[in-house]
Structure formats: C-alpha cells, structure tokens
Structure 1
Amino acid sequence: MSWSWKLGRVAGIPIYVHWTFAILIVWLVAAGAMEGGGLAAGLLQGGFVLAVFACVVLHELGHALTARRFGVPTSDITLLPIGGVARLQRIPEKPAQELLVALAGPAVNLIIILALWFVFQVRLPSSTADSDAILHSGFWSKLLLVNVFLAGFNMLPAFPMDGGRVLRALLAMKLPYTRATRVAASVGQLMAIAFGLFGLSNGAPMLLFIALFVWIGAEAEAVQVAEKAALKGVTVHEAMLTDFHTLHGDDTLGRAAEVLLAGSQHDFPLEPEGDEPMVLTRANLMAGLAAKGADALVREFASGAPPAVAADSPLVAAVALLRERGAPCAQVIQDGQVVGLLTLENVGELLMVREALGQTGDGSISTREGENVY
C-alpha cells in the first residue's frame, strides 16, 4: 500500500493508515494544547480522534467479516482522514448477501450506540445543534454522537456509501445488475450535488470532499460494472495485441524509440536473458532518454516481470489483474509460448467495437469480480 503504513492485522485482515492521518493527529494535539488547555487537553483531543477511528475500523470490520461469511475475502482496510475503506475482492454473488454486507457496517455503530447508552449510561451532549456545546461535552458523549452520525450518514442513499449499496442491492433483486448500479450511481451523484451545495452554503469543506468522493466513486463503479457486463464470456485471446515487437537487453533506447514511433505498441517485452522476464514501458523509455540519451541500453531501464495470463482465460479476470498490480501490460501465453500482449488500451478498443456492434452483455450478476470499496 503506497503512502500508507501497516498497523497490523485484525482477523487476518491487514490494517493500514494513510500518512495524512498522522498529520491530522499531530495537528489536533497541537491545536488543543495551543487553545489554552495545555498538553493534557491536546492529548485528550488526539485520543478522541483515535477512539473515533477505532469505531471506524470496527465499522469496516463489520463489512469485511460479513463478506467473509459469504466467501468474499477482503484485501485490506485503510484509515484515511475522512474515514475508512475496506477493499473487498469482489461483490457477494446474491443481492441479498450484498445487502447484508452493506448493512453490517452501520449495524456495528448501532451496537456501539446501544452499549454506550444502556450499559454505560452515556447520554448525548446537551445541545447537538450548538457546536460549542458539543466541543465542550464529555469524551464519551461526543463518542456516542459520532457513532450516531456514522450510522445515520452512512445510510444515506449516496452510492458508493453503505446506503447507496443497500439501494443497489434492493434494485438488483428486480433489475439487471448493471441497470441497478447505474440507477444507484445516479441517485448517489444527485446526493453528491446536494452535499456540495450544502457544504458551499454553510462553509463545510469536509462535505465538499465527501461530495467529490461520492461523485467520482459512483461513476467509476458504474462504468466498471458496465465493463464487466460487456466483457462477459470474452477471453483474453479476443482482446490481445498479436502484432507486437520484443527488444533485446543490449538494444539502445534510440532503437526502442524508433519501434515506438513506428507503431501503436507502447510497452515492449525483452527477450529472455534470465529467470525473470522484463518489460520496457513507455514511461521508462522516456525517463531513460531524458536521463542518459538514445545510446543507453534498454536493460538499464527495463522494469520487473509483467504478469502472464492464459490466452483462453476470462478477460474480466485479466483486466482485474492488470489493475491490481498497476501493470502496463500482460504477456499472453498459449502452449508455453508468448502469443500476444494485453493492455487496458486494447480492452478499451474492444469495448468500443463491441458497443458499436451492440454486444454489450446482459448485466448478469454472475460476472461480478474485481475489487470493491466499502
């Protein structure tokens, strides 16, 4: 996880914290100390934020552990200054299962609320409309209020938030999955506009960040689901680049640039020289030309092995592999030989051709694979 630090594992799931979260803690401790309360007040304020994010971790674990019951693993959970993200490797097969996974997070916050209220007799701040009264209320009262907010806010139908996923799951019980996702995404984007307008009119910049997250997330997942539906039943062989060139490690970057300019290929596998295959990407080629010029050798700027996929394997799974690894291309293997290259650009071109031909898939939920954020 780039830009994130691993805190450990809970129930076998890696927990990461983004580096910006550490800056938030330091800033809050310093702000509390400078307001006149001294270091103790600053540490209490920082401790409160840690308690809030412990609740966020429990919320995300609710999603992850419920998904695990349906055979869906979670890649990791990451803490960000605006909340937490649990990355499920795929969506549960049935809409009813997705509904339970989406409800599990807010249900954890509800359990925390009930425990604080009935077991520990904690009550909400005297005035939840007065921000000053909230700030000066007790530690546990504020934590109770935060969990009420987390449970309620996450249930708003702003896809891809929990409430939006609940809406998508309910719609998917009656509609094709692709259509259900598009409707939920449209509702989510309307909610994002509402968040943005409210944030602008009330001077709430955090709502603007949330609005941006909801808008981008809703559109990205709707496009991803439509893509998977369009690629249902398609194999890697149908999308791969068959007219491709390889380079030798002792070729010059100038030679690589000539091949780049002569065709549409952007990434070049190297002829095997050892145990590990190598690839020269367009980005590395440009960096090498800028750093050492056209006479530098290709092997100096080639990167690690591109992933390999079988020619008859599902294209959806190969696309997910490329995105997960951030790889520029994959080598396509058939009978032990490299017979083509696969890039996301090839996949995009295939999608355009299939759309022009009306081959857009049926949106069946059986094609749900890949990574999904809760």
Structure 2
Amino acid sequence: MIWSYRIGKVFGSEVRVHVTFFLLLLWIGLSAYAAEGLQAATLNLLFVLALFVCVVLHEFGHALMARRFGIKTPDITLLPIGGLARLERMPEDPKQEILVALAGPFVNVVIWVILALLVGAEVGLLNIESLDQAGSDFLAQLAAVNLLLVVFNMIPAFPMDGGRVFRAVLTIWLGRERATGLAAGTGQVVAVLFALLGLLSGNLILMLVAFFIFAAATAENADVQIRSLAEDIQARDAMITSYESLSPDEGLRAMSFGLLRTTQHEFPVLDSAGRCVGFVTRDAIFRAAQAEVTITAGAAMTKNTPTVDLLAPLSTVLDALADGSSPAVSVADGDEVFLGYITRENIGELMVLRRAQIV
C-alpha cells in the first residue's frame, strides 16, 4: 500500500504503518492537549497506541489461521480506521473461510479475558460510557474496547469478519459467486447506513469505515465474478502478443518514441537472451521527461515482475496482479524466453467479451 512504512516483520508478514495513522495520533494529541492539558494528551495517545496493538494482534489472528491453510500474508498495514491484513487469497473452502474470519475476533476475546482478569472485575460494553471520564481505569477501558471490536467486526457487512462468515455460510447453499454477490450487496447497504449515521453524528471515522466497506465489497465481488468467468482460461488466451519492447540500455528518446508510435501503457524490457527483466510504464516515461533527466529503460523499469508459462490458469495471473506492485505479468516459454504479457486492462476486455460469449 502506498504511503505506508515498514516497521518490522513478524511471522513472515511485514508490519506497516500508513502515514495517515500518524495524522490521527497528531489530531488526538492536540485535541486532548487543548481540552485538558499535557497529561490528558499523553494518556489519550497511550490508549490509542495500546488499542492499535490489539488491532495488529487481531490481524495476526487472521494471518496465522490463513497460514494453516497454506495462505501467506505479505503484510499487515495499520490505518486510522483499523488494520488490514493482505492475504494472498481468501480460502475458497467455506469452513476455512469461517475459521480465518473468526480468528481475528477470537484474539480480541482472549485479550478481553486477560485484561478482565488483570482488572479483577467484570468488564463489559458499559465501560465504554466512561471512556472520556477523568480517572477511568485504563485497563478496564481497553478491555471494553476489545469487546466492542468483537461486536463491531461481527456485523454481517462484507468484507468485514461477520460479512465473511455470512458469505461462507451462503456459499454452502448458493455457490461462491452468488453468495459473494448477496453478501456484497448486504455490505453495501450497511455501509450506506454507517455513512448516514456518521454524517448525522459528525463521526468522520465512521464515514471512512463506510467508504472502505462499500469500496472493498464492490471490488471483491467483481474479483469473484472475474474468477468465475476465468475458470477455463489460460494465460495464452489472454496475453498481448503485438507489442514494442525495449532493451535495458535504451534511453529516454527511444522510450518516448515508443510511446508516440503505439498505444501501449507499458513496455516490456528484454535482455539479450529475450527474457523479460521488467516493464517501463507510461507514467515512468512522463516523470523522466518532466524531470529532464538522462535515464535508461533498465533504470526506469519496474523490476521483479511475475512470470507465468503459457498454460498457467488465468487465476494465477490474477493472483500475481492482485497486490498492484507490477503493471503486467510476463508470459514465457520453458527457457524463460518472453512470449507476451498480460495487464489488468486486457483481462477486463477479455471478461467483457467473455460475458458476451464472443470468445
């Protein structure tokens, strides 16, 4: 995710913090300082940091459970609205998806139990009411907020945890595509309700959560539909075979002329053996031209681009493009000689034609 910074790596997953999280801390600290002074600002910041440690542990609950089913979690990003564990893919087995979805809230339940034992008293959601009261118990409040996180995350608003459980249960009877459509629609309705509630109450965080739910539900529903259409499609069926390429030592002039001669948005960079070593994007060429720098294709290209063979299923290509780090996936033969490439745009075009039953 852009504008996020790596702070460490745990259990094979990078832990990242988005820059907007620091803006949240700044806003909370300044607001508390203006209202009640330095001590209140310090306590508020410590509470928020402790809460987001619980959020990160929640996301590791998902990640570790997913790892049991052979699914990696490249990174976990801390955002002002919570945490985001980026799994390579969601399990298609409904039972596995339920376990992965429930693992996060289960971590918060465990934290709540531990904190309740430390406090030595019954801690429930009613403790939330005294959150802003001076002298309120730090650990009791933290326990109560963890319980609130469990309740909130289990709302059946896809793709929140409760929504994923809802989708998995529907999948058993309806199949994954129909179940996702119904769960996504329910999530979008809940998102609109959240947005209205946030607007009426002036709660910016709730409005941001609503936007995230709506956008994520729409995107995942589209992804499931594409994967359903792509079940019997191979890389050779989707790849671009008419293109202009660059060599690593070609300069800005050659890249610019290629941009003018073609409608390509990305140019494969091939070494002397015909292997793809990266892609130069149109944006990279524009940036170099505006900066008026001397640069070669090898220096301007996006490196470490994924490669698949001709017979790879299109789902493999979709997985490779999912994190957005590469503009395209190269297709090569057994000797790694470049044959063509696949972009998100031409997959979208293929799906339109597929729906129309033209190809």
Quickly name the TM-score band, shorter chain normalised: 0.7 to 0.9
Q: Is the 8 A contact 1:330 1:343 kept in 2?
A: yes
- The match for 1:138 is 137
6-15 vs 81-90, which moves further: 6-15
What is the CA distance between 1:189 and its match in structure 2? 0.3
Q: 1:226 to 1:135 in 2, by over 3 A?
A: farther
Q: Is the 8 A contact 1:309 1:331 kept in 2?
A: yes
- The match for 2:76 is 77
Whole-angstrom CA distance in 2 between matches of 1:55 and 1:297: 46
Q: 1:67 to 1:298 in 2, by over 3 A?
A: closer
Does the residue aligned with 1:174 lie in a helix, a strand or coil? helix
Does the residue aligned with 1:90 lie in a helix, a strand or coil? coil
Normalising by the residue count of structure 2, what TM-score does the alignment of the two structures yield?
0.87
Whole-angstrom CA distance in 2 between matches of 1:65 and 1:102: 11
Whole-angstrom CA distance in 2 between matches of 1:107 and 1:254: 57
Whole-angstrom CA distance in 2 between matches of 1:263 and 1:182: 38
Q: Is the 8 A contact 1:278 1:302 kept in 2?
A: no
What is the CA distance between 1:146 and its match in structure 2? 0.7
Counterpart AA for 2:76? I
- The match for 1:187 is 186
Equivalent pairs counted in the alignment come to 356
Matches within 5 A, 1:71-110: 71-110=70-109
Q: Deviations over 1:273-313 (max 9, x none)?
A: 599835332222333444449xx776486414443321221
Greater relative contact order: 1 or 2 (C-alpha under 8 angstroms, separation 6 or more)? 1
Q: Is the 8 A contact 2:270 2:276 kept in 1?
A: no
Q: Is the 8 A contact 1:331 1:338 kept in 2?
A: yes
- The match for 2:24 is 24
- The match for 2:9 is 9
What is the CA distance between 1:172 and its match in structure 2? 0.8
- The match for 1:340 is 340
What is the CA distance between 1:268 and its match in structure 2? 2.1
- The match for 2:310 is 311
What is the CA distance between 1:162 and its match in structure 2? 0.6
What is the CA distance between 1:121 and its match in structure 2? 2.0
Whole-angstrom CA distance in 2 between matches of 1:135 and 1:348: 55
Whole-angstrom CA distance in 1 between matches of 2:174 and 2:358: 20
Q: Is the 8 A contact 2:102 2:161 kept in 1?
A: yes
Whole-angstrom CA distance in 2 between matches of 1:325 and 1:210: 22
Q: 1:357 to 1:254 in 2, by over 3 A?
A: same
What is the CA distance between 1:37 and its match in structure 2? 4.1
Whole-angstrom CA distance in 1 between matches of 2:101 and 2:224: 17
Whole-angstrom CA distance in 2 between matches of 1:120 and 1:129: 15
What is the CA distance between 1:136 and its match in structure 2? 5.3
301-310 vs 272-281, which moves further: 272-281
Does the residue aligned with 1:219 lie in a helix, a strand or coil? helix
What is the CA distance between 1:246 and its match in structure 2? 2.1
Q: Is the 8 A contact 1:78 1:85 kept in 2?
A: yes
Q: Is the 8 A contact 2:246 2:297 kept in 1?
A: no
Q: 1:83 to 1:291 in 2, by over 3 A?
A: closer
Q: Which runs of 5+ in 2 are unaligned?
A: none
Q: 1:98 to 1:135 in 2, by over 3 A?
A: farther
Whole-angstrom CA distance in 2 between matches of 1:195 and 1:135: 29
Whole-angstrom CA distance in 2 between matches of 1:323 and 1:179: 22
Does the residue aligned with 2:341 lie in a helix, a strand or coil? strand
Q: Deviations over 1:182-204 (max 9, x none)?
A: 11000000000110111112222
What is the CA distance between 1:252 and its match in structure 2? 6.3
Matches within 5 A, 1:108-119: 108-118=107-117
Q: Is the 8 A contact 2:252 2:296 kept in 1?
A: yes
Q: Is the 8 A contact 2:119 2:139 kept in 1?
A: no
Q: Is the 8 A contact 2:269 2:276 kept in 1?
A: no
Q: CA RMSD in A?
A: 2.9
Matches within 5 A, 1:1-374: 2-38=2-38, 40-118=39-117, 120-124=119-123, 130=129, 134=133, 137-248=136-247, 253=252, 256-272=255-271, 277-292=277-292, 299=297, 302-305=300-303, 306-324=305-323, 326-336=325-335, 337-357=337-357
Does the residue aligned with 2:174 lie in a helix, a strand or coil? coil
What is the CA distance between 1:251 and its match in structure 2? 5.8
Q: 1:130 to 1:302 in 2, by over 3 A?
A: closer
Q: 1:292 to 1:182 in 2, by over 3 A?
A: same
Q: Deviations over 1:150-180 (max 9, x none)?
A: 0111110111111100100110111110111
Does the residue aligned with 1:324 lie in a helix, a strand or coil? coil
What is the CA distance between 1:259 and its match in structure 2? 4.3
Whole-angstrom CA distance in 1 between matches of 2:228 and 2:234: 13
Whole-angstrom CA distance in 1 between matches of 2:255 and 2:90: 42
- The match for 1:365 is none
Q: Is the 8 A contact 1:155 1:161 kept in 2?
A: yes
Counterpart AA for 1:165? R
Does the residue aligned with 2:84 lie in a helix, a strand or coil? strand
Does the residue aligned with 1:71 lie in a helix, a strand or coil? coil
